[in-house]
Amino acid sequence: MISTKMEILVVDDEPKQRRGLAAMVRSLRPDYKVHEAKNGKEALELAENRSLDIVFTDIQMPIVNGIDFLKALNHKGNSVPKVVFVSVFHEFGYAQQALRLGAKDYLVKPVITEQLEPIISDLEQQLRRESTLQLETKSLNEQLAHTKPVYMEHLLYKWMTEELQAAERNEVRKHFTYSGSGTVVILESKSDDRTADELEWRSILKRAVVQALTPLAEAMVVAPEHEKEQLYAVAVWRQGVSSEEGLAQLRRALHQVENVYNRSISAGIGKEFACIETDIRACCQSARLALQYLYYFPEGMWLSDSELQNLLSNAASPLVATKDTDILEKAVTESQLELAMSSLISLLDQMAASYPSPFRLKCSATQLLLTCLKRVELVIDDDQYRILVNRIDQEIIAAQSFRDTQQTAAGLLADMIKQMKKDKSSRSEMIMQKCREFVEANLHEDLGLELIAQRFFYNPSYFSILFKNNFGLSFTDFLVKTRMQKARSLLLQTELKIVDVAKQVGYKDIKYFNKVFKKMFLYSPEEFRRMFSS
């Protein structure tokens, strides 16, 4: 740990240079203890007996030069001081070699105060940061002393899944010294019984894995606290034991546990690596991917990386056609529940045939349902529409398997059609209002009774009667009146040409537009604008 009064060593075989630099350091830091040595050998002896913080050393010196001195310091291990080279030799090769060996800086003689001050200040900051980190690490180690097993499990899990810091790697090597061919197996066990003692079950499962693997492999098992349903097992096979033999033994042992405790255990088996220590992350990642793809298979299945790769390479290309989605959407708009359900299940089966990632398939299922919902948006109550959107987003993503996804999607589709029927039959006034808003927003389009009736899922004859009952006008008269009112506003409030006004209210024939406008307002559009615009 750094003290307030540091110890600094100046090493140089030239007395004048050595004393001059030492005096300069003393003038900048009068409270510091400054030592001198005339070569690397003396410097090493001082380093053995003193707790040095910073060393300024020449390169070319008799007996032991500066480079060899730094190499010897590095071999000491802990508490290596910060070393700065000071030399007339300023070639890049020296600086590069020095920095590669851990030197913190490189100065060219003669050194002046303006160069030295910022270097000392920077090294002081480094030492204080390191001292603070050491104190924090010591405090943390003391706090974790009584929870060492939990800490080690966390560290081993991190070793399998993340890039470790140097200190973490060293800590892992103390507890996991195995080397050789091996793999990672991720076990997953789910229970519908929420009253079951999951902690006890994980302990039983962990013990069973260790007992099954120990005769055949160097093994460890990690139960991540944040992954309640999973265990990570690392197996490094003993001499003469094959991966197939070891995994078969593990599966037999866990099958017995399944029978005794009435629990289903699934497993993702990682790629076999010749050096598990160096390839642990890639091995774990492949096991995770295999476990993820068990989404497509029943509980209790085991899937290895090699089986998964074979499955993906032989998977069918997606064959979902536009006509198939059109059939689904049409069935929904026409409230044909059975056809809609069978179409949805068929579409999901087609998507699953290419084995996309589970997340991607869930997104596709979500998009199918949201598209159907959008088609019937105008006849569903706004609050119910928002509820259905949220349910689709949440329930599809939460599905645990492909079968669960299909069942969830089918249930949501049924609720959508049920809600549409309910709102359509009991809320005709709301639907007519939405119809009016749609017409007013789309006057520039080629609108007609049949098109609007179809959009709002009504028979044209019934829709015509319903519309007149609500607005006191036939649909055609309402459309003409609304268009003329819009045209009148545009003539009075804008400077659009008459032909552009006609287009904006749905008339391509300017003569016919003039005729209809004059019939309603007694003046042609041009006369009306001239007489009434301010």
Per-residue model confidence as pLDDT tens digits over 65-83: 888 888 888 887 667 888 8
Assign domain 7-140 to a CATH class.
alpha beta
Domain 176-313 fold? Alpha-Beta Plaits (3.30.70)
| Gap between the Cα atoms of 371 and 11, Å rounded | 77
Any bridge partners for residue 9, and if so which? 35, 55
pLDDT at residue 343, rounded to an integer: 94
Give pLDDT, residue 1.
Answer: 43
Give me 439's structure tokens.
């017409």
Question: Phi and psi for 198 in degrees, rounded to 5?
Answer: -70, -35
Q: Angle CA(180)–CA(181)–CA(182) in degrees, nearest 5?
A: 115
Rounded to the nearest 10 degrees, how much is the dihedral formed by the CA atoms of 124, 125, 128, 132?
-170
Could you give the percent of the chain with pLDDT greater than 70?
93
Three-class DSSP labels, 302-351: EEEHHHHHHHHHCCCCCCCCHHHHHHHHHHHHCCCHHHHHHHHHHHHHHH
Residues of the chain under the 50 pLDDT cut: 1-2, 195
Q: Which two tokens stand for residue 494?
A: 């804008």
β pairing state of 105-108 and 230-237:
unpaired
- Report domain extents, the chain: 7-140, 176-313, 322-426, 429-532
Please tell me the predicted confidence (pLDDT) of residue 335: 82
Distance CA 200, CA 191 (A): 13
**443 neighbors 486 (Cβ within 8 angstroms):** yes
Give the span between the Cα atoms of 514 and 520, in whole angstroms.
10
pTM over 0.75: no
Number of residues in the chain: 534
The per-residue pLDDT for 196 is: 57
- Comparing CA positions, the residue from 473, 477, 435, 440 lying closest to residue 456 is 435
Record: fold of 429-532: Arc Repressor Mutant, subunit A (1.10.10)
Q: Report the C-alpha gap between 148 and 144 in whole angstroms.
A: 6
Closest CA to 160 of 149, 150, 170, 172: 172
Q: CA nearest 11: which of 51, 79, 62?
A: 62
